[in-house]
């Protein structure tokens, strides 16, 4: 039997998008239409799906979506030139370069060419540094979505033991920074971590961003813990997370499903970041 509360990221994200749409309408009343440019290089099938749904949801909340699809053999200089034009374009408030880039490109050089004020993915080194030092930053979308779900469920995170499994630049590390900013006591685990099950058993909050299906076992979960499953693994029977959901849901206090948990939050947070970037570019207060 499932005793844990299901954290409905799909509903939370729909609600967030509705609030964003309201704020976009009032910006438009004042002559400002937020614009998000998404750049896709090459034909990676998963990336094409992401870019398509990002464009659709951008338009759904009333923002302008500018999609730039470039062939896989595009030179890095041509990509940098496009980013330069988008940086200078006042109608573009957010720029997202879909990763991964083709192997002939230097991902860091491309990301760091984006105007940090328009870096709605929060991957520019200035935004990474600002987050780490407690300054106003653009925060990466997936961990920002996880944080929103955690705050909604738990209220204050202060003093909670939080375990982040995974140390990638796009999920694990920024997740750890956000939890630390909220005064959780944060442990970051990775492939060299010793005694991961024991560490996990002490955690009030577990964020799993590993990329291995059903990796986190039910008997690693502290009774009542809040479990956020970031994993998206394509298996024989559809999408599965990084947590053994059926077992963990018998022990946890609350848990995100896959799909329908963290996934929908990521695009909603991208739109939230675009709204924030637009507000800042126009000297308006940050949207709530």
Residues annotated in a binding site for NADP(+): 166-168, 232
C-alpha distance from residue 258 to each of 69, 110, 111, 211, 241 (Å): 29, 31, 29, 13, 5
Between 153 and 279, name the residue whose CB sits nearer to ligand NDP: 153
Catalytically annotated residue among 98, 177, 222, 229? 98
For residue 121, indicate whether it is catalytic: yes
Order of strands, sheet of 254-255, starting from the edge strand that comes earlier in the sequence: 5-6, 254-255, 226-229, 205-208, 161-165, 185-189
- Residues interacting with ligand NDP, by CB under 6 A? 142, 165-168, 170-172, 189-193, 196, 209-212, 230-233, 262-263, 266
For residue 136, indicate whether it is catalytic: no
Between 17 and 92, name the residue whose CB sits nearer to ligand NDP: 17
Instruction: State in angstroms the smallest separation of the CB of 32 from ligand NDP.
Output: 28
Instruction: State in angstroms the smallest separation of the CB of 173 from ligand NDP.
Output: 9
Compute the Cα dihedral for 240, 242, 247, 248 and give only its sign. negative
Sort strands 233-235 and 238-240 into parallel, antiparallel or unpaired: antiparallel
Instruction: State in angstroms the smallest separation of the CB of 190 from ligand NDP.
Output: 4
For residue 54, indicate whether it is catalytic: yes
Q: Rounded to 5 degrees, what are φ and ψ at 88? A: -85, -10
Point out the annotated binding site.
166-168, 232
Instruction: State in angstroms the smallest separation of the CB of 264 from ligand NDP.
Output: 8
User: For residues 117 and 124, what is the distance between their CA atoms, to the nearest angstrom?
Assistant: 10
User: For residues 273 and 204, what is the distance between their CA atoms, to the nearest angstrom?
Assistant: 28
Between 113 and 232, name the residue whose CB sits nearer to ligand NDP: 232
Between 234 and 283, name the residue whose CB sits nearer to ligand NDP: 234
User: For residues 190 and 151, what is the distance between their CA atoms, to the nearest angstrom?
Assistant: 24
Catalytic residue list: 54, 98, 121
């Amino acid at each position: 039997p499932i005793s844990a509360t299901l954290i409905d990221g799909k509903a939370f994200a729909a609600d967030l998008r509705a609030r964003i749409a309201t704020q976009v309408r009032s910006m438009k009343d004042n002559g400002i239409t937020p614009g998000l440019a998404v750049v896709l290089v090459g034909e990676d099938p998963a990336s094409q799906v992401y870019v398509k749904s990002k464009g659709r949801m951008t338009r759904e909340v009333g923002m302008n979506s500018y999609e730039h699809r470039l062939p896989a053999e595009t030179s890095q200089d041509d990509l940098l030139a496009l980013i330069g034009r988008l940086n200078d374009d006042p109608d573009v408030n957010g720029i997202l370069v879909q990763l991964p880039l083709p192997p002939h490109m230097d991902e860091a050089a491309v990301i760091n060419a984006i105007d940090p004020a328009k870096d709605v993915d929060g991957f520019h080194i200035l935004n990474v540094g600002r987050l780490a030092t407690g300054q106003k930053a653009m925060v990466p979308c997936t961990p920002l979505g996880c944080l929103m779900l955690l705050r909604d469920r738990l209220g204050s995170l202060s003093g909670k033991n939080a375990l982040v499994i995974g140390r990638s630049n796009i999920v694990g590390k920024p997740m750890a920074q956000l939890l630390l900013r909220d005064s959780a006591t944060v442990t970051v685990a990775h492939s060299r971590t010793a005694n991961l099950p024991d560490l996990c058993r002490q955690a009030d909050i577990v964020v799993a961003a590993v990329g291995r299906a059903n990796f986190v076992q039910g008997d690693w979960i502290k009774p009542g813990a809040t479990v956020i499953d970031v994993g998206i693994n394509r298996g024989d029977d559809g999408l599965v997370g990084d947590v053994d959901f059926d077992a963990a849901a018998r022990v946890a206090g609350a848990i995100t499903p896959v799909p329908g948990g963290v996934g929908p939050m990521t695009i909603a947070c991208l739109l939230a970041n675009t709204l924030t970037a637009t507000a800042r570019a126009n000297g308006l207060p940050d949207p709530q």
